[in-house]
Amino acid sequence: MIDFEQITLGILAGGRALRLDGADKALLTLGNETLLERTLRGFPGNYFERLLSYNRAAASAPAPGLRVIPDERPDFPGPLAALEALAAACRSPWLLTVPVDCRDVPESLASGLIARVGPDGVLLRDADGLQPLIALWRVDALRPAIAAAFAAGEFAVHRLTLRLDLRSHDISPARLGNLNTPADFAAP
């Protein structure tokens, strides 16, 4: 069984946020917390390390205890590039990834993923379907799979998942939701 000390938490917050006029999603607030604070609260645990995929100019991490990892590829090429950078920076055998813009994250989510892990990892499925950015990845399998996906011109994360032996952790009928537009922040 995998324990938290073998896992690096990788939070994806490096996108352009075009539907939010380019706002820094990690620092946007919902309720009384930034999205980054909400994400960290949703993933408690004694992780090996916490990484933040972050492509903004910052003198330091937007929250303590995070190592900032920018994309290795220029011009915001998307979530696959964020996974590539996080996997390259990861110093533990397992990488747990989550986007910073999830609306509702149950505190048991990480434990549930760990319990369902397959040979190369496990992906989350909720009421909206497969959520390939919320996953626990075996780093030694993830790195070459990402390289092969880029070499084949496949930039969608769901295509990457087909290259790996991953299980699914289904939390339906629960729904995590995404915070991508101003209307998403206004919804109850």
How confident is the model over 73-93, as pLDDT tens digits?
877 668 999 999 999 999 999
Which residues form the domain of 21? 4-186
Q: Please list the helix, strand and coil fractions of the chain in percent, rounded to the nearest 5, in that order.
A: 30, 25, 45
**Cβ–Cβ under 8 Å, residues 13 and 54:** yes
**143-185: per-residue pLDDT in tens?**
999 999 999 999 999 999 999 999 999 999 999 988 777 777 7
* CATH number of the domain that residue 9 is part of: 3.90.550.10
DSSP per-residue codes, 155-174: --HHHHHTTS-EEEEE-TT-
Residue in the structure block whose two tokens are 């813009």: 101
Residue 49 has pLDDT above 70, yes or no: yes
The pTM score is 0.92
pLDDT (average), residues 16-30: 67
How far, CA to CA in Å, does 115 sit from each of 31, 81, 94, 111?
Answer: 31, 27, 14, 6
Detail the DSSP E strand segments found in the chain. 7-12, 29-30, 33-34, 49-53, 67-69, 94-99, 121-126, 129-138, 166-170
Q: Total structural domains in the chain? A: 1
Instruction: Look at residue 73 in the predicted model and tell me its pLDDT.
Output: 81
Amino acid identity, residue 43? F
Q: What's the alpha-carbon Rg for the chain, to the nearest Å? A: 15
